[in-house]
A and B are shown apart, each in its own frame.
Chain A
Amino acid sequence: MTTKYIFRYALAASLAVGAASCKKSLDLQPISDATVNNSYNTASQAEAALAGAYNTFVGSDYYIWDNIYTSDVRSDNHYAGGDNPDFFQYDNLTLTATNSKVYGDWSNLYNGILKANTVIQRVPLITDPSLAADRKAEIVGEAKFLRAYHYFQLVKNWGGVPLVTVPVTTTDPADINIPRASVADVYTQIITDLTDAAGVLPDSYGDASVNKARATKGAANALLAKVYAQKPDRDYNKVLTYADAVISSPAGYALVKYSDLFDDNHYNNSESILEAQFNGTTIGNWSPSLLLPPSITSTTWRKFITPSKDLANAFDSEGDVVRKNQTMLFEQAPWVDEYWSATINGVVPFPYKQRNLVNGNSTSRQYMLRLADIILLKAEALNALGRTGEAATEVNKIRTRAGLGNTPAASQAAMALAIEKERRLELAQEGQRWDDLVRYGRAETVMNALNETNLVTGQKVNYNMTVQKELLPIPQTELNRNPALTQNPGY
């Protein structure tokens, strides 16, 4: 009988065995989705996280074309087009906090920062022996470069912004409602990141198709030159140092024929320091389909960006045929353009620096950094430091390449204006103009002096530019989501 009882208890115990310890069973992971726990453990995963971070250059509206709106459309270079009222706010300097592009760009840039932050945080923890220490440091350097690049866009456009340098791991409002940092603090972070990056990145990875796709020491130095020039307390000695570091880089950066820059046959050329990489199919640039004329796009709706009369005049006043022809293409447009033609089928210029289009997709690139910009920055620094003669030498390198004679500017003041104009003609449609105007303190003067007439209404456009409009509004949606933020003055 006792044995009978033992049998009962034993049976019960054996039946219950499944329930005895299931603690391990609870530690499951998703099967078809990756998580932060299993995505950053190997060398190839480190590269994948980094590729994801670079993807922001080819996968976000900001770098595809919104930067042209933010800089060239907002300034005197281009008009807005298309049919979206939000887009015309850039052109007319009537931006509001609810503008969808402003919100989208803010979001794009912070998403890029998240991806860079993820690499910076996770990759150093990887213990996979096939990830060499050098490469590990490089990857972190590349990510820091990307983070700096995005923060530079943010601080130029919005001023002091929330400084986020580690990926969030909580939704606690105290942890995610981050207030704005000062402009100086953002620049300090950018310079720290770029200095770190320049310290570990190589001049070259070997092939040009890699060197122009990835951040290099040259790219970090070039961005440092731009950052030191743009920050409110600019340091032209530093600009000169970093510009020279780029110009004399072992990477061998050199000016190429101007038309080669945009003819889609010379990608990753030696003037390029960094450019967004497209293959036109799986990774395609869709903005040319929205910008190019009907003869190329086969679409007859109004395109979204139109070069301005003022820009065309600026080219003409210099007799700059080479660069004008690379920047705009004139063609009949089956719509009314307020500035160029009050009637249908008038001749209208189209943006032409990205001109390849196959099946609605393009391989054309934007230069994220290129040498001519750095040479002109060097000229700007030399001139600011009182070395106007040396500045002229640099400016003339650019003018000669464009088929123009030497600059007539002699005084320091005249040279400053000459450099500003040279930058405008050289870098039009490349997202540089607004920053130049702000840096030169000329945004108000230039925009309010513009003489643009709407041919449909017959009215001269009044831009009412103010110092406050130099910055974009903090997006209203972001203000709603983050009570710790404050709006920029004037919005």
Chain B
Amino acid sequence: MQKRITLFCTFLLASVFAYGQNIIVKGTVKDQKGETLPGVSVRVKDSDAGVATDVNGAFSINTAPNSTLIFSYIGFATKEQAVSGQTVMNIVLAEGNKALNEVVVVGYGTQRKGDITGAVSVIGKKDLDQRPNTQIGNLIEGKTAGVQVVSPSGSPSATLSIKIRGTNSINAGSSPLYVIDGVPAQDTRSLNPADIESISVLKDASSAAIYGAQGANGVVLITTKRGTTAKPKVELSAYYGVASVRKKLDVLNADQYRQLATDLGYSTDWTKYNANTDWQDEIFRTGASQNYQLAVSGKNEGTSYYISGGFAKQLGVIESSEMARANFKVNLDQKVNNWLTIGTNVAYTRYNDVSITDDTNVNGGGVLLGALTTPPNIGIFNADGTYASNPFQQWENPLASLYGSTRPYKNQRLLGNAYGEIKFTPDLKFRSSLGIDYINAVSDYFLDPYLTSYGRQNNGIARNETNLTNYWISDNTLTYAKKIGKNNFNILGGFVAQKYRYENTYIQTTGFSGNTIPTTNAGSVIGSAYNNKSEKFNNSIIGRVNYDYAGKYLFTANFRADASSVFGPNTRWGYFPSFSAGWRLSEESFLKDVTVINDLKLRAGYGIVGNDQISNSNYYSYLGGVSSGSNYIIGGNIQPGNYPSSIENRNLKWEETKQTNIGIDLTILNNRLTFSADAYIKDTKDLLQTYPVPRSTGFDFALKNIGTLRNKGLEFLVSSKNIVQKDFQWNTDFNISFNRNEVTALYGQQYFLNTISGRSEASLVTEGQPMGVFYGYIYEGVDPQTGNALYLTKSGEKSSSPSADDRTIIGNPNPDFIYGLTNTFSYKDFSFTLFLQGSQGNDIFNATRIETEGMTGPQNQSTAILSRWTTPGQVTNIPKASVNNTDNSRISTRFVENGSYLRVKTATLSYNLPKTIASKLRLANIRVYATGENLFTFTKYSGFDPEVNAFTSGNSANTNGGFGIDYGTYPQTRNLIFGLNASF
């Protein structure tokens, strides 16, 4: 060390000595076409001194006459040029292999794309600009291989869940870790997509292992924008859009309903029910969205800044549903001196929404099923102003669910970090960062005491729930980069500490004297009031070594040791290593002369990652819980009692995934065609599950690490520059992913999930099958004699009264493959992007049809039942009506439909106003565009929309095993958006 410091001192002295004889070097930097290049980094070799070119490509730098300048710019080959006493240097930079030189954000650092040995997908600016949207999940969908976006519904407040390379867990979370500018975050709904510069998706263990116990589901790294230009850049964007549902479903009209009700044996004075209301018209409307963003950014004299503010508001296609978001962001970096840089990224978001009740039937207040099954014969209101209900049941019409209550949700969030980076030597850097994520969410609910029957019964209900999340993370890392001959080393080591704290309060009151005060204080009876707090702490040690020899042989080794307070001292530490290697064949002498190949790289990696997303209620389960409430009366007084509520298990630990990945990257034909392929196998073991134990223990279930899962798959990416001309360009990007998921061992346990009212569960997690297969009877049509539905029994007979044992696996919601295809055409100032996205081979369980074709009660039904069985001998596929009996509408293959689809996800036409016009408006650039989303959908699916996943919202365990079910789910919408981007 002593020697090193001496060496550095000598070096520094030398440079100070050199300073005395400096000269000013001026010049401009241009590309091969002769266009000036602004923002090119001009650096003095072996020193920290550096400047950037201005808007005209000009630079001026103070340097020694015998020094060497390094010119680098994204997308261009870096050039070194000796000053040799010149005071004017005009430089021409050659375009490089953009893709390979692109700097990719990886865990705790960046890497040149060409040096990456793991499976990392990048979604960059061009993809992000194409799709104006309010959620980052939408930005990712279909844009890269291996990433499936599961959108639970089309609600403005829906949270998209993302699965990277399949579902990794049964009971623990299966969402990836999101890291925003280095701060891991739980909720992505309140992020502002306009602030995002790039998204890196770390898909395999070798790239995600640096996130250890949080990495098993993959990692999504989100990098926000920073200032880049010397001249302050002001960007304004705005759009307005309208949304509508793709289609309506055909239900019975008033006369047809009356006939059905009469056939079912319901009679009433029909003269009181003479309306013919189209409930779908009543609940659906034309949605509207608007979005305004303003950003100012710049970079000068060591300061880089990005300040933005935005406002977005969306009115859903279903009445009363809405979302509004206001956000403010500051990114600031300051070079304090030649060894210290400090900076901060701070974002404040205020997010409000109003959601509606969906994914349930009319009995549960489900709006969609309410619209489909409420008889058209009634109007919205009774004469007394209350909501009208079904003539035969106290089921109110869907407007009661929408407007009988107010349901505002407000979320305020501060997410950000502050960092300091110290350069000890040009090779050795220390970085310390402290990040926070502070979320305060309030849900209010007020049910009018008069308008609805439930409201009248309770004299109004008010609820108030607050959730407070406090999170901080401290990262301290040391990086050492060194080049010795052709050997390049990059070594990282550090500590990470994270603390989570959740607080929750809830109160519900009833008994309101009126509807003037909607808050809980006005209720006369406290129904429920509670308060909960929990916390956890994580401590980690991370390390990584990147080594390459001449950019030809690449090695990466990661290691992370994680400790979490929620596990017992014996198993608290988990160790997550990974190794990967790449071989750039194109750098080998035998391929160097093959000009058609620009780049060819083989990659292979292996690693272990963990999953710590266990629910709060399972925190500290290793200790054995003790619950209160088992009281007993002694001496006439209640003596508070408690009891052991969960089994102590000191051996509880993380779920662990071992992943092997091999891949190939190929760039050919003058960098015009890029091809990537990856193959992987992921084996997850020690699944955290509630497992039944012998009752002689006194317990029923215990949380245990038991069971294994496997995901394996193939991914392909093709990117092609089909036509590259001065005025006309055509690019095509295509990706396709195949994932196969299998529960490989569950030790006799089965999970039945997703209850369809009155008909038990529709999904099953069982050994030897993919997650969440559909489970039920095989439908064999209608018995022409009795009109009853027939089902196939185990013994091969058809029966109208099969036993529960006759149920089998009847469908698979996991697609065979998913794909995305983007074509971009540019002609002069016009650009057109067509983005197709699809899913093939997945089934949908259409439980909506169980409610609309079941004919088990006085619900309105779909027009399909007009062909129902009515007379003996009649041959039809719709069984007879059967009041209060679900035997004719069991969960069966009758309701399993092909869920494959191909849709025009977006089509965007944009026009950059000519510079002459822009400059007249004193703008540097102005672009107008029109985007259509979900314009066309090709599918055989009969429901509202094939992108449907009831039971996947929220953090319940069903999220993993419950996709592909349609149960009166808020449909995806067709959107038309008009927007404008301007900058000066």
Contact = CB atoms under 8 A, between A and B. Distances in A.
Interface in A38-54: 39, 45, 47-54
Contacts of A33: 534, 620, 625-627
Contacts, number: 239
Contact of A209 (B420, B494, B636, B642): B636
Interface in B525-558: 531-537, 539
A233 interface: no
Contacts of A106: 695
A25 B626 CA distance: 23
A365 to B, nearest CB: 10
A89 to B, nearest CB: 19
B537 A22 contact: yes
A19 interface: yes
A169 B696 contact: no
Given A8-B339, A19-B476, A207-B635, A169 B648 contact: yes
A31 B535 contact: yes
B422 A19 contact: no
Nearest to A114: B698
The interface centre, meaning the residue of A30, A51, A53, A278 with most chain B CB atoms within 10 A of its CB, is A30
The interface centre, meaning the residue of B8, B494, B641 with most chain A CB atoms within 10 A of its CB, is B641
Given A28-B536, A36-B624, A481-B695, A59 B649 contact: no
A15 B432 contact: yes
B619 A30 contact: yes
Interface of A: 1-2, 4-5, 8-9, 11-12, 15-16, 18-19, 22-23, 25-37, 39, 45, 47-55, 57-59, 103, 106-107, 110-115, 117-118, 161-162, 164, 167-172, 176-178, 207, 209-210, 213-214, 277-279, 282-283, 475, 477-478, 480-482, 485
Nearest to A19: B495
Contacts of A35: 620, 623-626
Interface string B487-504: 000000011110100000
B648 A170 contact: yes
A113 B634 CA distance: 20
Contacts of B12: 1
A103 B5 CA distance: 76
B640 interface: yes
A164 B634 contact: no
A159 to B, nearest CB: 14
A146 B812 CA distance: 51
14 contacts: A8-B422, A16-B476, A22-B497, A28-B565, A31-B533, A34-B628, A50-B641, A55-B630, A110-B695, A113-B698, A169-B648, A171-B693, A283-B632, A478-B694
B644 A54 contact: no
B633 interface: yes
A171 B638 CA distance: 34
A29 B649 CA distance: 15
The interface centre, meaning the residue of A117, A169, A278, A475 with most chain B CB atoms within 10 A of its CB, is A169
B506 interface: no
B474 interface: yes
A49 B641 contact: yes
Contacts of B8: 5
B647 to A, nearest CB: 6
Across chains A and B, which 4 residue pairs bring their CB atoms closest together, nearest first? A114-B698, A51-B641, A19-B495, A52-B641
A32 B422 CA distance: 42
A54 B632 contact: yes
Contacts of A30: 534, 619-620, 623, 625
A19 B537 CA distance: 12
B430 interface: yes
Contact of B694 (A31, A48, A176, A282): A176
B189 interface: no
Contact of A25 (B432, B537, B632, B651): B537
Interface in B206-222: none
Given A26-B537, A34-B626, A213-B633, 10 more contacts: A2-B9, A4-B339, A8-B424, A110-B698, A162-B696, A167-B698, A209-B636, A277-B632, A478-B695, A478-B696
B699 interface: yes
Contacts of B226: none
B700 interface: yes
B639 interface: yes
Interface of B: 5, 8-9, 12, 339-340, 420, 422, 424, 430, 432, 434, 474, 476, 494-497, 499, 531-537, 539, 563-566, 572, 619-620, 623-628, 630-636, 638-644, 647-651, 691-700, 702, 704, 748
Given A15-B432, A18-B497, A282 B696 contact: no
Contacts of B698: 110-115, 117, 164, 167-168
A33 to B, nearest CB: 6
Nearest to A180: B696
A301 B354 CA distance: 44
B470 to A, nearest CB: 13
A168 B539 contact: no
Contacts of A8: 339-340, 422, 424
Contacts of B627: 33-34
B496 A481 contact: no
Nearest to A34: B626
A110 B631 contact: no
Contacts of B624: 35-36, 169
Given A110-B697, A481-B694, A51 B534 contact: no
A236 B116 CA distance: 85
Contacts of B651: 170-172
B537 to A, nearest CB: 5
Contacts of B495: 16, 19
A169 to B, nearest CB: 4
B696 A25 contact: no
A25 to B, nearest CB: 5
Contacts of B631: 51-52, 55, 282-283
Contacts of A9: 424
The interface centre, meaning the residue of A31, A50, A477 with most chain B CB atoms within 10 A of its CB, is A31
A55 B432 CA distance: 55
A415 to B, nearest CB: 40
B537 A54 contact: no
A82 B564 CA distance: 52
Contact of B693 (A52, A59, A481): A481
B626 A39 contact: yes
A30 B567 CA distance: 11
A111 B694 CA distance: 11
B420 A59 contact: no
A48 B650 contact: no
Nearest to A54: B632
A11 B420 contact: yes
Nearest to B693: A176
Contact of B633 (A22, A26, A169, A283): A283
Contacts of B531: 32
The interface centre, meaning the residue of A22, A33, A45, A485 with most chain B CB atoms within 10 A of its CB, is A33
Contacts of A32: 531-534
A11 B422 contact: yes
B565 A19 contact: no
Contact of B539 (A12, A25, A478): A25
B680 to A, nearest CB: 32
B648 A168 contact: yes
B535 A28 contact: yes
Contact of B623 (A2, A37, A177, A485): A37
A19 B424 contact: no
A483 B635 CA distance: 44
B90 to A, nearest CB: 37
B642 A210 contact: no
A214 B636 CA distance: 12
Contacts of A117: 698
A482 B696 contact: yes
B647 A171 contact: yes
Contact of A178 (B499, B694, B700): B694
Contacts of B702: 171
Contacts of A176: 693-694, 696-697
